């Protein structure tokens, strides 16, 4: 892997941009049956939320997994990430007037929770 590619792959800004485009694009698609600007607004809202979640999720998982003993350090971080994501996504989309909230959040929620579970397991296994 080249140094330039490695630097790009580690960039928080790149990860946030990819999350914005991928999950914002999904939200636009999930709301495509509604008149404009509803799909566009849902896409921008979800894109911004996904970018922010991407920025903070890794750090929160690391913090939680180091502080929770035993199996709690394995199971609670992804569960907390899931619950916080559900509340945050559904509340903000409701406030934004997103028509298809469930369809809009199911993919970002699945991706974030899967990442949280896999990354937490990696951290948990590496414990002394």
pTM for the model: 0.86
The percentage of the chain sitting over the pLDDT mark of 90, rounded to a whole number, equals 78
Report, in this order, helix, strand and coil percent for the chain, each rounded to 5. Answer: 85, 0, 15
* Buried residues in 75-109 as b, exposed as e (16+ CB within 10 A): eebbebbbebbeeebbebbeebebbbbebbbebbb
At 1 the pLDDT is: 61
- Which tokens in the block code for residue 25? 């694009």
Q: What is the pLDDT of residues 30-88, one digit of tens each?
A: 999 999 999 999 999 999 999 999 889 988 999 998 899 999 999 999 999 999 999 99
């Amino acid at each position: 892997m080249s140094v330039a590619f490695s630097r790009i792959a580690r960039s928080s800004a790149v990860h946030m941009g990819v999350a914005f485009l991928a999950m914002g694009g999904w939200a636009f698609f999930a709301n495509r049956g509604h008149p404009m600007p509803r799909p566009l607004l849902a896409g921008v809202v979800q894109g911004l939320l996904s970018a922010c979640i991407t920025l903070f999720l890794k750090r929160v998982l690391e913090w939680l997994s180091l502080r929770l003993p035993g199996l709690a350090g394995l199971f609670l971080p992804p569960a907390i990430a899931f619950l916080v994501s559900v509340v945050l996504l559904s509340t903000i989309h409701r406030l934004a007037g997103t028509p298809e909230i469930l369809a809009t959040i199911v993919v970002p929620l699945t991706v974030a929770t899967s990442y949280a579970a896999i990354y937490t397991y990696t951290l948990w296994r590496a414990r002394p």
